[in-house]
Amino acid sequence: MSDKIKTGKLGEKLAADFLEAKGFEIVAKNYRFRKSEVDLIAKKDDWLLFIEVKTRSSVHYGQPEDFVYEPQANRIFDAADEFIFSTDWRGHVRFDIISVKMNSNPPEILHMEDAIN
C-alpha cells in the first residue's frame, strides 16, 4: 500500500472517530455505487451526512478541502441518491467535507458543514 493510500485511510479513520466523538453514528464507510464513492455516511437525529474526507500530509499545494472538484461532487451526489433510495431515508440530508492535516501533532481536523453543493 502506498504512503498516499495509507495517509488517506488514516485520515478517514480520524474523521470517523471525530464524528463519533460528536455523537454521530457512522452508517457506512467507503460506500460505492457504480463509479461513485462516499468516504463516510453518518447519522445523527434526523440528519444523514455524506462526507468527503480530504487528508494531506502537507499544505504546500493547498488546503485539503480545496481539492473537491465538481465531477467528484457529482459522483458523491449520485451515490447519495442511491443510498437514500435504497434505505428509504426520509430525514434531512447534508454534504460535508472533513479536512485532515497530518502535518501537526495531533492532526488538525476541520469539519465543514454543507460544503458540497
Look at residue 33 and give its three-state secondary structure: strand
Supply the pLDDT for residue 99.
Answer: 93
Supply the pLDDT for residue 58.
Answer: 67
Domains for the chain: give ranges and CATH numbers: 3-112 (3.40.1350.10)
Q: Which residues contact 3 (CB under 8 A, 6 or more apart)?
A: none
Backbone angles phi, psi at 15, to 5 degrees: -65, -45
Supply the pLDDT for residue 98.
Answer: 96
Its pTM stands at: 0.90
Supply the pLDDT for residue 109.
Answer: 95
Contact 65, 115 (CB under 8 A): yes
The tens place of each residue's pLDDT in the chain, 117 residues long, gives: 778 888 889 999 999 999 999 999 999 999 999 989 999 999 999 999 999 999 887 666 767 676 677 888 899 999 999 999 999 999 999 999 999 988 888 999 999 999 877
